[in-house]
A and B are shown apart, each in its own frame.
Chain A
Amino acid sequence: MSSMTDVRAPAPGRLAPSRRRAPIATLTWMLARPSADSVSTLMLPGIAFAITTALLLTVAGGGVMFWNWPDELNAATYQVLSGLALALLVIPLASLSGAAARLSARRRDDRLATLRLLGATPGNVVAITVLESVMVAAAGALVGVVLYLAAAPLVGLIPFGGAAIGAASIILNPLAILGVIAGIVLLAAVSAVVGLRKVVISPLGVRLKQSAPRMSWLRGLIGGVVVVIAVVVLQSFGVLPDYTAVAVAIAATFAVGVAVLNLVGPWLIWVFARMQVGRARTAARLIAARTTLEAPKVAWRQVSGLAMTSFVAVVGGTGVSFLIEEGGPANELALYVDVRTGIIITLVASFLMVACSVGVNQASAVLDRRDLYVGLDRVGMPREVQEQARARAILVPLCWVSLGSAALGGLLVFPLAGYALIVAPTSLLVIALAFVAGIALVALSLVATRPVVTSVLRSPERAQ
């Protein structure tokens, strides 16, 4: 029987130098082909891209539907309102697509470092990264198109203009669908390059940060002053001369609200997190509060889209509910009912995107910190405590942001909100239920990431 290592055998001859360039496609396939690590390296970003694509196509389809709205009398109104809804959905959608791209880019850092050690040039590494990201994004986007087409009949049940809109109305033409796929793939490629640069600059990321970030109290002061001015201005709603002035005031309210939320949001999260750290009595609460305090801007970015939607849902929902109860011509009433439907759909869509974004970010965070999770499991931290800490770090800022923004909206239109609560309780209850369902949706997305933790903890002896 021959020995595994036979030193008497002649050493293989030295290969002649090659002038050919590194076979990027072959190397990419070797690194990306399905393996035991596929779930973390390929499946997860692929799923994230699929969800992003499906939601983007559905939202765009809805926008195009309103652009072709047959009711000539209200067409302009529908177009403006759908434009507003799309504007509101841009932030959570961008957050979700960014999360998918970052996850895709981060997964392969270790393998790329090894390639560099073996002599791959930085150009080779960038090419492999971009190609793999593009492949994963393209595959995910194609699955997303299938999801979009499959969900269309369900989305088509939503009533607008007094009847269900129908699946066909939100299906984009093939060219537009190709455009969306191309956009997703481009985003993945750009994010891969940007992500790679970040890895090069700071391979250890946030963990070596020496001091926790601090937020200036000036943010709070400026925000507070703006809110007071806005409330005073809005108290003059009743004496505004005509409908145009009211419309301008509403637009100004929206703009001020959005600006204030973006200024004050991260600061408020920081302040609340500090209070939570001081009050924490359990390990889960302490870890969750410290996690939020570590990166208040990141926490804000993840849920900021929700802040604006929540704000608009309360301001707009209150106004529309009030108008519906006031009564009027049938076509106007139908418009108000549609606006209310639009508000609820925008709110739910925002929550859906935040939920997907949270799911992707959490899966990514667990994989990035697998050593720490395994270590905490070894020292005997119960799994439930780890799960509670993860959930609180997301859900507490989420509740602060969504309910805080809703409260701010309610404050700005306080007299109207109070009146609407009396005359149109059902409409406001529906909006409140949308909030509850949305928060539950995000909680579900956290539950969906539990198998990632399970798989990390299942083979601790392999983790080091």
Chain B
Amino acid sequence: MRRPTDVVARYVDEAGSMNSSASTPLLSASRVSMTYPGTRALDGVDLAIYPGESVAIMGPSGSGKTTLLHALAGIITPTSGEVVVHTPHGAIAVNALAESERSRLRREEFGFVFQQGLLIPELTVVENVALPLLLAGRTRATAEAHAVEWLGRLGLGGLERRRIGELSGGQAQRVAIARAQVTGARVIFADEPTGALDSVTSTETMTALLEAATEDGRALVVVTHDDQVAARCSRVVRLRDGRLDVQAATTVSGASA
């Protein structure tokens, strides 16, 4: 399937270079710990995310899955340990960045899909998807044109002018996937992306997410309780009481249905 035109030229360059150096992780966490008063949410977690892979983070409630995702994405700063993003321009220590710089990193390098979608209900579908590009300084015409391409690719052609309230749950999640992809993000973080969907819509949404998020040397990190979702990822990471329990790689052929 044709990939929508990249509006950020460096991502096109970068995709080629990443394919040639797949051994360099896109993102790595070493000895990451996170402590809240009275709780140790993460305890010395090491994890590396490589180009083209999809990693499922599983574990019981309270095991630290979402905290790990937030630490990897620079949403929170770990109490100790280090998270490093490897870009074509060099490695960036996320912990050392100021809040505004981390915000920019999330905007430019990462994409996010949440359980509730968290789309802006007042905006139309195409405006929601174009928003990250507007924030990156693109003109509205360019941003919306690119958003339309992504929407078409995700099977949402013709719904561009609809409002979020007019969409089904699965359609809204695909809009969120388009929004996460539109800047050419290198790592997509998804937190229970199918948690609010029925089984058929869940399968369709994961297919869309896996296809879009892992091509061209990009990667997907997904927090899930759902074994079927995890089974479709190329690797499963299990957490228990904030520690990495088992790190088992499943066959890549099982991914990206």
Instruction: Mark A residues whose CB is within 8 Å of B.
Output: 206-212, 280-283, 286-287, 290-291, 293-294, 371-372, 375-383, 385, 460-461, 464
Contact = CB atoms under 8 A, between A and B. Distances in A.
A375 B134 contact: no
A380 B123 contact: no
A371 B196 CA distance: 16
A372 B76 CA distance: 17
Contact of B110 (A380, A385, A464): A380
Contacts of B73: 378
A378 B106 contact: yes
B120 A380 contact: no
Interface stretch (B19-27, B50-58, B111-119, B234-242): B111-119
A461 B67 contact: yes
Contacts of A464: 66
B107 interface: yes
B64 to A, nearest CB: 11
Contacts of A380: 103-108, 110, 132, 135
Given A210-B163, A282-B134, A290 B179 contact: no
* Overall SS of chain B's interface: helix
Closest 8 CB pairs of A and B: A380-B107, A375-B118, A380-B106, A290-B122, A283-B134, A294-B122, A207-B121, A210-B165
B82 interface: no
Nearest to B141: A281
B100 interface: yes
A234 to B, nearest CB: 40
Nearest to B123: A290
Given A283-B135, A385-B135, A461-B70, A372 B122 contact: no
B103 A383 contact: yes
A206 B106 CA distance: 29
A389 to B, nearest CB: 10
B167 to A, nearest CB: 10
A382 B166 contact: no
B5 interface: no
A196 B76 CA distance: 36
Contacts of A293: 122
A209 B165 contact: yes
B135 A381 contact: yes
A378 B111 CA distance: 9
A379 B163 contact: no
B139 interface: yes
Contacts of B118: 371-372, 375-376, 379
Contacts, number: 91
Nearest to A375: B118
Contacts of B221: none
Interface string B65-92: 0110010010110000000000000000
A208 B165 contact: yes
28 contacts: A207-B165, A281-B140, A287-B120, A287-B122, A290-B120, A293-B122, A294-B121, A372-B118, A375-B116, A376-B118, A377-B103, A378-B75, A378-B106, A378-B112, A378-B114, A379-B106, A379-B107, A379-B111, A380-B106, A380-B108, A381-B107, A382-B103, A382-B104, A382-B107, A382-B135, A460-B70, A460-B76, A461-B66
A379 B66 contact: no
Contacts of B123: 286-287, 290
Nearest to A292: B122
A96 B123 CA distance: 28
Interface in B122-174: 122-123, 127, 131-132, 134-135, 139-140, 163, 165-166
Given A286-B134, A378-B75, A461-B66, 8 more contacts: A207-B165, A211-B163, A286-B127, A286-B131, A378-B112, A379-B107, A380-B105, A381-B131
A176 B78 CA distance: 58
Most buried by B among A211, A281, A376, A379: A379
Nearest to B166: A210
Which has the most chain A C-beta neighbours within 10 Å: B76, B111, B114, B122? B122
A216 to B, nearest CB: 20
Nearest to B140: A281
A378 B108 CA distance: 12
B114 to A, nearest CB: 6
Contacts of B139: 281
A212 B73 CA distance: 35
Nearest to A294: B122
Contacts of A383: 100, 103
A107 to B, nearest CB: 21
Given A207-B165, A375-B114, A461-B67, A283 B131 contact: yes
A287 B124 CA distance: 10
Contacts of A290: 120, 122-123, 127
A377 B107 CA distance: 9
Contacts of B127: 286, 290
Contacts of A208: 121, 165
Contact of B120 (A206, A210, A281, A372): A372
Nearest to B36: A461
Contacts of B165: 207-210
